[in-house]
Amino acid sequence: MTNRRNFIKGLAAATAAGLIIPEKLFAMPKGKTIGIQLYTIREMVNKDFEGTLKILSGIGYNSVEAAGYGDRKFYSFEPADYAKICKDYGILPISSHSGINLENADVVIEDTAKAGMSYLVLPSIPKEKRQTLDDIKRRADEFNLIGEKCKKSGLKFGYHNHAFEFEKMEDQVPYDILLEKTEPELCFMQVDLYWMVYGGYDPMDYFKRYPRRFELWHVKDMDKTKQRESTEIGQGTIDFPGLFDKKKKSGMKPCIQILL
């Protein structure tokens, strides 16, 4: 995608003055935790992890969400080493996208906690596990069980949406089922604003109907073409000032931003 390539190219050569600092873009209070999902710049991260953190810190980001967990390591680093490297660059390793399930939950939770994180997020439900409404209900039950395990280890468990959660099944919205059948103290939603809008739904409506369930946000804009591709924040159609005005109602705490 052109916009992604442009962002990565710009980031690679960025200085603190070279890109808009997220605090300025969203009028966020100074000192607010503002981060980036490392999947967005995975090519850079995989090539030079520490060099990328240095660039991010210089721009003004102060937290990251990992998307490189495997073999009990984060980007090939032991959990404790990953935490130390991030903190050496003034970066908080706040969360991780991991393929957690009931079978591997204990191991994933242990490693995530050792990495100094506060949040563990399931990035998606595999297609074969979301074929029917009963499948969705079973996933909600699993989320509660995983969330209970996370809570005992001092972590919070969340789920990240795409657009498929808004495709109706039996005249019901799967995303609503997940919200209604998960316990708020055991499972929060990491709302991807772009994908929710792409799926045809208004984040404002969800903040109103399910207050304080959306503790982490993924922020990316939608362009004005028929393809509705993601684009640089502020260049598209999503009303970010209006959404950020409702951040308290939504339950948003730290904000993880995806810039494409």
Q: What are phi and psi of 13, to 5 degrees?
A: -110, 15
**pLDDT score of 2 more than 50:** no
Q: Domain 2-12+24-257 belongs to what architecture?
A: Alpha-Beta Barrel (3.20)
pLDDT value of residue 30: 61
Report the 10 Å Cβ neighbour count for 55.
Answer: 21
Q: Residue 18's pLDDT band (boundaries 50, 70, 90)? A: very low
Of 4, 42, 12, 1, which Cα lies nearest the Cα of 232?
Answer: 4
Dihedral angle computed from the Cα positions of residues 162, 225, 42 and 191, in that order, rounded to the nearest 10 degrees? -30
Query: What average pLDDT score do residues 78-105 get?
Result: 97
Q: What are phi and psi of 153, to 5 degrees?
A: -100, 10
pLDDT value of residue 12: 44
Specify the higher pLDDT residue, 123 or 26: 123
Specify the higher pLDDT residue, 6 or 143: 143
Query: What average pLDDT score do residues 63-73 get?
Result: 96
Roughly what angle, to the nearest 10 degrees, separates helices 49-59 and 2-12?
A: 90
DSSP 80-130: HHHHHHHHHTT-EEEEEE----TTTHHHHHHHHHHTT-SEEEE----GGG-
Helix (H) or strand (E) run with residue 180 in it: helix 174-181
Q: Residue 28's pLDDT band (boundaries 50, 70, 90)? A: low
**pLDDT score of 89 more than 50:** yes
* pTM confidence score: 0.90
- In the three-class reduction of DSSP (H, G, I as helix; E, B as strand; rest coil), residue 244 is classed as helix
The amino acid at 110: E
Query: How is the chain split into domains, by residue range?
Result: 2-12+24-257
pLDDT value of residue 172: 98
Task: Give the Cα-Cα-Cα angle 209, 215, 219 (nearest 5 degrees).
Answer: 95
Query: What average pLDDT score do residues 229-251 get?
Result: 91
109 within 8 A of 103, measured Cβ to Cβ:
no
Specify the higher pLDDT residue, 3 or 93: 93
